[in-house]
Amino acid sequence: MSDHAVKVEPDHTTASSGDKDNVVVTEELVLDTSPAASLSPPVPSCVPSAAGVQGSATPLASKDKARSRSKMGRDDRSTEGKVNTDIGYAISTHVGKHLNRLRGEKVLQIKCAGRVMQGKQETNGNSTHQRPRDRHEPGNKHQRKKKPVTVDTSKAKTSLEALKMSIKQLKWKEFPLGRRAACDIYWHGTSFHDNDHIVSGQVNKFPGMIEMLKKINLSRALRTMHELFPEEYNFYPRSWILPDEYQQFSAQIRGLKDSDAAAHRTFIVKPDSGSQGEGIYLIREASEVRLAAGSQARQAVVQEYVQRPLLIDKLKFDIRLYVLVKALEPLQIYIAKEGLTRFCTEPYQEPNQKNLSHVFMHLTNYSLNVQSDNFVHSDSQSTGSKRTFSSVLYRLASKGVDIKKVWSDVISLVIKTVIALVPELKVHYQADIPPGKPGPTCFQILGFDILLTKNLKPVLLEVNSNPSMRIEHEQEVAPGVFEYVSSPVDEDVKVCVIRDTLRLMDPGLNKHGHPPPAGGGGAAQQGTVITTKAGPPDKAPEEEPGDGLPTLCLKQVYPKYTKQFQYLCLVDRIATLFLRFLGIKGNMRLGPTAFRTFIRCCKLSNSNLPMASVDILYIDITRRWAASTQDSREAGMGLQAFVEAFFQLAGRRSKAALLRDQVASLLEVCEAHLDGPLSALPVAAAVSLEDRRSLSRGRAMAREASKLSPSSSSSSSTTHPPPLCSPAAPRRAVSHDQRLQRSRHGPLRTNLEN
């Protein structure tokens, strides 16, 4: 998708100027979530609430009215709903209040600790600052002195318009041309490396995310998890990597035909780094794979095609969900409560030889379907070729679908996918910002593309590292005249996601994750309802906005659901071992000596596994991975190869039947030898534990030494070099690494704690 600078001025006044259409809703509506009330789905709070829909008599047909309705929808986002899904995901249910508008004087209703308070609100230009009274007290120095959060948007590219709107809503300060002094937040349009000179603050991209989310790497990461947890990771279609696994793929198709001659399976071939449907085609025979020869061979993934997707209006559609990875260590994941659905433009039929090439029937990509004459641009959220996810959920709920279960399955798919990606991301992170080197901390919005099968099972299609954040689309306004016009559906969803991501990354958040009292947050949009609730002091920001903005549209799912998913983090624990032995020079590959050191320190070598076999294992696996990744930039064993070696070692040592048990048991052995399961602890905790242990160990060694030799001083004991592979040697090295790492992680912790 090309970048262009289209100026679409955010119109913050529309909602208020369209006063006629605004309806004052003063009653509180609680969505009934009992099965009998399946017509009231647990729609995300940012969805036009039932109150908004019922209360407005505005027809959706006219563009202006639809637009004003869509603004209403945004306002309604301040409503809050609560529905417990199978994993306890809560979507808000309180529907808030709207503003009265009477002769320029707005009567504000604030729900506060169960009471509805009324107060007058002053209109100042085009913004309305609505806060509890005490925040306006002159004595509140903190508020007056607070500097706005600064955002460098010079590299934002296509997300610029939505970003500008978000910054404006937050009353933060934008630096469109960059800034000589450091900014709090850097917004990159493509990658972490859009600007390589950042040494502090926060960047909206992780190093390595683009690589990790290419189709081959994503397939590999999910395959590894599938090997360990076949039941849990069955949401990704079976995939083969081309050209490497062409023979296996071919054999698989032959096998399927032998077992059931009538079964006509279809497969989809996707180029490794393709996007927007580019280069994708469907096949039914292995021979139909278009493999170029030799070095021209284009890497791709061939994947089982989901033949029976869920249809709406006879059309195939997919879901785009926005997911914020707020931090890797400890892992923090948020899911946007609202997403988009993208529809095909030709009625769906199960694949047959005649329709395999019908792009508008099989591929849901917006970029492709928008070229079809059947594409419907609509300002309504529930019609047209691009709709909100919640409108689709409403529709499904009206047909009796258990949408709580659908949501719950989607959330669990997202968490499992991120868990699969994190280990490799940590390696990239350490390589790009080596311990000791000053650097920013990172966060990233990802775009998850999900298909629902006819049986309502969510299937992951891909994860986008750079989901489009455009809020405008090209439209033919007169014959042959094209213009970029604002897309209300995109705007409604994407501006919230960006704005609330920024709110969560606010450097002023205190250690409980509270937003700052006022100044760093901004004014409410016109017509926004403030819902303040008294709550315990450690509430997450999404539960306690407290800054005059609508309730966050992003919902924390991790660490919230850590307990349910922690057992899946085996590869993450393997990555922690890998990182310990990697060293701190920005490497991503383990050399043969480091691998031997790992074996020795974990005491894995014995008569069944002499060091000579260890060397052979290393050479074998490393060679194979070097050939398959076609990446000779750096020699050595990467994390994926290390994981494979670990699986092999686990299989040799353990008699357990399941790979996951074998791996868990080997991890325990290794962690016990390396001082306990540090990986289960956050970095900071691990560091202090490590430091405390090495300190007490040092003291114990000193005591032992002084007992043995009364003449030796305690300081002399520290001069004894430890044996090459005593646990102390790597521990001290690690301790050193982690001290450096701690300084690197400093800014993040500061952000959370200040």
- Contact window for ligand ADP (CB under 6 A) among 135-143, 274-282, 331-339, 424-432: 274-282
| Residue 243 beta carbon to ligand ADP: minimum distance, rounded to whole angstroms | 19
| Residue 456 beta carbon to ligand ADP: minimum distance, rounded to whole angstroms | 15
User: From the list 69, 270, 589, 744, which residue makes contact with ligand ADP (rule: CB under 6 A)?
Assistant: 270
> Side-chain half-sphere of 167: how many Cα atoms within 13 Å?
22
Residue with Cβ nearer ligand ADP (451 or 584): 451
- Contact window for ligand ADP (CB under 6 A) among 18-26, 70-78, 357-365, 681-689: 357-365
Strands 267-271 and 300-304, sheet pairing:
antiparallel
CB distance 333 to 414 below 8 Å: yes
Residue with Cβ nearer ligand ADP (281 or 394): 281
User: From the list 276, 299, 355, 629, which residue makes contact with ligand ADP (rule: CB under 6 A)?
Assistant: 276
| Residue 199 beta carbon to ligand ADP: minimum distance, rounded to whole angstroms | 33
| Residue 271 beta carbon to ligand ADP: minimum distance, rounded to whole angstroms | 8
Q: Could you tell me how many residues of this chain bind ligand ADP (CB under 6 A)? A: 20
* Binding-site string for ligand ADP from residue 559 to residue 598, where x marks contact by CB under 6 A and - marks none: ----------------------------------------
User: From the list 49, 341, 365, 622, which residue makes contact with ligand ADP (rule: CB under 6 A)?
Assistant: 365
Q: Using CA atoms, how far apart are residues 318 and 324, in angstroms rounded to an integer?
A: 19
Residue with Cβ nearer ligand ADP (345 or 526): 345
Residue with Cβ nearer ligand ADP (420 or 461): 461
Residue with Cβ nearer ligand ADP (48 or 447): 447
| Residue 210 beta carbon to ligand ADP: minimum distance, rounded to whole angstroms | 13
DSSP 90: B
- Contact window for ligand ADP (CB under 6 A) among 224-232, 268-276, 627-635, 738-746: 268-276
- Contact window for ligand ADP (CB under 6 A) among 246-254, 277-285, 539-547, 589-597: 277-285
User: From the list 99, 221, 289, 363, which residue makes contact with ligand ADP (rule: CB under 6 A)?
Assistant: 363
What does the chain come to in residues? 754
Kindly state whether residue 347 participates in binding ligand ADP, applying the rule CB under 6 A. no
- Residue-by-residue DSSP string for 356-424: TT-HHHH---HHHHTTSTT----SSSSSSSEEEHHHHHHHHHHTT--HHHHHHHHHHHHHHHHHHHHHH
| Residue 636 beta carbon to ligand ADP: minimum distance, rounded to whole angstroms | 31
Residues facing residue 30 across a β-bridge: 94
| Residue 279 beta carbon to ligand ADP: minimum distance, rounded to whole angstroms | 7
Residue with Cβ nearer ligand ADP (368 or 588): 368
| Measured distance between the N- and C-terminal CA atoms of the chain, rounded to whole angstroms | 39
Token output for 52: 């908004």
* Sequence-ordered strand ranges (E) for 479-548: 481-486, 531-532
Q: Using CA atoms, how far apart are residues 421 and 514, in angstroms rounded to an integer?
A: 28
- Contact window for ligand ADP (CB under 6 A) among 121-129, 140-148, 245-253, 269-277: 269-277
* Binding-site string for ligand ADP from residue 197 to residue 236, where x marks contact by CB under 6 A and - marks none: ----------------------------------------
Kindly state whether residue 364 participates in binding ligand ADP, applying the rule CB under 6 A. yes
- Contact window for ligand ADP (CB under 6 A) among 85-93, 132-140, 360-368, 470-478: 360-368
> Side-chain half-sphere of 261: how many Cα atoms within 13 Å?
0
| Residue 22 beta carbon to ligand ADP: minimum distance, rounded to whole angstroms | 38
* Tally of CB atoms within 10 A around 288: 13
Residues facing residue 335 across a β-bridge: 323, 555
- Contact window for ligand ADP (CB under 6 A) among 43-51, 290-298, 359-367, 593-601: 359-367
Residue with Cβ nearer ligand ADP (71 or 320): 320
| Residue 682 beta carbon to ligand ADP: minimum distance, rounded to whole angstroms | 34
Long-range contacts of residues 199-203, Cβ cutoff 8 Å, at least 24 apart: 199/438, 199/439, 199/440, 200/438, 200/439, 200/440, 200/747, 201/440, 201/441, 201/507, 201/747, 202/440, 202/441, 202/442, 202/443, 202/505, 202/507, 202/747, 202/748, 202/751, 203/440, 203/441, 203/442, 203/443
| Residue 458 beta carbon to ligand ADP: minimum distance, rounded to whole angstroms | 12
- CA 139 to chain CA centroid, nearest Å: 41
Residue with Cβ nearer ligand ADP (235 or 578): 235
Residue at 192: amino acid letter: F
Q: Using CA atoms, how far apart are residues 177 and 153, in angstroms rounded to an integer?
A: 7
Residue with Cβ nearer ligand ADP (406 or 650): 406
- Touching ligand ADP, residues 284-323 (CB under 6 A): 303, 305-306, 318
Residue with Cβ nearer ligand ADP (348 or 618): 348
Q: Using CA atoms, how far apart are residues 109 and 116, in angstroms rounded to an integer?
A: 6
Kindly state whether residue 278 participates in binding ligand ADP, applying the rule CB under 6 A. yes
User: From the list 15, 268, 300, 433, which residue makes contact with ligand ADP (rule: CB under 6 A)?
Assistant: 268
Long-range contacts of residues 603-609, Cβ cutoff 8 Å, at least 24 apart: 603/669, 603/673, 604/649, 604/653, 604/666, 604/669, 604/670, 608/652, 609/649, 609/652
- Contact window for ligand ADP (CB under 6 A) among 17-25, 267-275, 539-547, 736-744: 267-275
* CA dihedral of residues 622, 626, 631, 634 (deg, nearest 10): 30
| Residue 213 beta carbon to ligand ADP: minimum distance, rounded to whole angstroms | 10
* Binding-site string for ligand ADP from residue 437 to residue 466, where x marks contact by CB under 6 A and - marks none: ------------x-x---------xx----
Task: Please report, for residues 1, 35, 394, the alpha-carbon distance to residue 398 in angstroms, rounded to integers and kept in the order given.
Answer: 36, 12, 6
Task: Please report, for residues 119, 341, 522, 542, 550, the alpha-carbon distance to residue 110 in angstroms, rounded to integers and kept in the order given.
Answer: 8, 34, 17, 17, 12
User: From the list 277, 330, 682, 746, which residue makes contact with ligand ADP (rule: CB under 6 A)?
Assistant: 277
Give the residue from 542, 154, 513, 188 showing the smallest Cα distance to 330.
513
User: From the list 132, 148, 176, 274, which residue makes contact with ligand ADP (rule: CB under 6 A)?
Assistant: 274
| Residue 310 beta carbon to ligand ADP: minimum distance, rounded to whole angstroms | 12
| Residue 320 beta carbon to ligand ADP: minimum distance, rounded to whole angstroms | 9
Kindly state whether residue 651 participates in binding ligand ADP, applying the rule CB under 6 A. no
Strands 173-175 and 472-478, sheet pairing:
unpaired
Q: Using CA atoms, how far apart are residues 239 and 217, in angstroms rounded to an integer?
A: 11
CB distance 683 to 677 below 8 Å: no
- CA 300 to chain CA centroid, nearest Å: 24
| Residue 452 beta carbon to ligand ADP: minimum distance, rounded to whole angstroms | 11
| Residue 368 beta carbon to ligand ADP: minimum distance, rounded to whole angstroms | 8
Cβ-Cβ contacts under 8 Å for 110 (sequence gap 6 or more): 116, 117, 118, 119, 130, 132, 530, 531, 532
Q: Using CA atoms, how far apart are residues 741 and 727, in angstroms rounded to an integer?
A: 20
| Residue 516 beta carbon to ligand ADP: minimum distance, rounded to whole angstroms | 39
Residue with Cβ nearer ligand ADP (418 or 575): 418
CB distance 240 to 302 below 8 Å: yes
Alpha helices by DSSP H, listed for 587-680, are: 592-601, 611-629, 639-653, 659-673
| Residue 237 beta carbon to ligand ADP: minimum distance, rounded to whole angstroms | 4
CB burial of 478-494 (b: ≥16 within 10 Å; e: otherwise) equals: eeeeeebbbbbbbbbbb
Kindly state whether residue 237 participates in binding ligand ADP, applying the rule CB under 6 A. yes
Cβ-Cβ contacts under 8 Å for 189 (sequence gap 6 or more): 3, 155, 156, 157, 158, 159, 160, 466
Chain residues that interact with ligand ADP, rule: CB under 6 A: 237, 268, 270, 274-278, 280, 303, 305-306, 318, 363-365, 449, 451, 461-462
